Amino acid sequence: MSSTAVQSDQALAALPPMKIFVDGKWVESDSKERLEVLNPATGKLLAKIPCASIGDVNRAVESARRASDDWCLTAPFERAAACHRIADRILAHREELATIISLEQGKPYFAEALPEVDETAENFRIAAEDVKRLETPIIPARDPNKRLFTFKVAIGTWGIITPWNFPTVIPSEYFGPGLAAGNTIVFKPAEQTPLSGFLLTQCIAEADLPPGVFNLVSGDGPSTGDALATHPGVDGIGLTGETSTGDLIQRRAGVKKLLMELGGNGPQIVLEDADLPRAAKAAAFGAYFNAGQVCCATERVLVDRRVHKDFLDLVVQAAKAIRVGDPFGREVDMGPMNNVAVLEKTEHHLADAQQKGARIVFGGKRVSGQATNMFFEPTVVDNVSPETLLNTHETFGPVVPVITVDQYDQAIALANGTGYGLQMAVFTSDIDKAFYFAERLRCGNVVINDTTDYWEAHEPFGGGGGTRSGYGRLGGRFTFDDMTHLKTVAVHVNPLK
């Protein structure tokens, strides 16, 4: 047996039972329906998980609500200590977690899965320290006999629904601040990558939180996810996912607090004075990291016509250097795409672009000779027109679409014209131009002279106002603003009046 097979077997053996987690215990689901979890690199069956019923969701929410009052009144420093214990348990299971991520998601073990686990633990540590400094203002009162205090208070019970592209780090962006702030949680992981969620939940269970503070219900979106989003006992919904999913949940959830990080489509803008080798390297990284299956991926590149040819040559060189293969290969840069739907969408967007005059310069098809047909070539497309799906939609595949522009305002109009507004990047050597673009791009985050895939765990990340990329902020202390409410207390302090 190969060392990879041994590693995989050990990680699978470390998984908890394929049950739901309610009130501090792994318990059987009411549902007899099971969902298959497949390895996209090999096609092999990894496990079968419960598709939790409405009754299961009811039990999980009731458990979370029972725990809510005591947990929100627990001292913040005690909740911080619990988050540090969770981080400790995540790092104790570091290799098993990373192996499970690679097995079910497909991302390279060394280049991407291990760093994802490390960032997952870091998100809990950041939350643990941030909750200790949740200062709020004391407000001067008009009445001289009053004192006005404010406090950040937990909202209550949250339903957290997360995607398959980052199956531990995205959940932790909600779990760390949510738990540290005193909320209780019911978690539904993506049906394509639930095993990472199961093992992450086991780490949380090992950290000895009170029963009911954290719960897991596995299943699909239309049944389990909908039951969680519409449940009257859920006070808030946290979602990272497609814009269409966010739109549906917003309509279904009713009067709940919503924190949503939704789709994006770049772009990266390359001006005539850009450092072209740096810009090309950044575009390739942004498009091929996690096989392009990232909300802030380099979905399109808007290049000044004066440097178009030189940039194109450089980005093709970068694409040719990407090594595609077995996620457990030490030198592999890019593994398979995760599921058939996203693969076929990528192919559809490329076909649409070609029909509208675009030219595939490199790649453009599935990789032959692999165990499955889920591997796709790093791709570069030139002469992409604004009417193409590559420009107007989120492709979510390993593609660099190049669009030529002649004027700054044209680039800004194209960048803002799709309705998405998550993260954009600008390459220029002129600080005036950098600010000119940063102040006019309609998005939540702008990166100057680096990839659209750049982020740090403690920075605020989320969609720009008036866009289809969501609202609220994930990252560091800023998430506390969305997962708490501000309570005001007025105190009468003069016993004589």
Give the residue carrying structure tokens 């659209």: 452
Query: Cβ neighbours of residue 409 under 8 Å, at least 6 residues apart?
Result: none
Q: CA angle at residue 384 from 383 to 385, to 5 degrees? A: 110
Angle between helices 76-92 and 194-206 (to 10 degrees): 120
Active-site residue among 119, 122, 191, 261?
261
Measured torsion, CA atoms of residues 464, 344, 352, 442, in degrees rounded to the nearest 10: 0
Output the six-digit token pair for 18.
């394929």
Please indicate whether residue 261 is annotated as part of the active site. Answer: yes
| Rounded distance between C-alpha atoms, residue 308 and residue 425, angstroms | 17
Closest CA to 420 of 458, 452, 397: 452
| d(C-alpha 156, C-alpha 179), whole Å | 10
Catalytic residue among 83, 203, 295, 296: 295
Q: At what angle do helices 408-416 and 431-438 cross, to 10 degrees?
A: 30
For residue 402, which amino acid is it? V
Catalytic amino acids?
261, 295
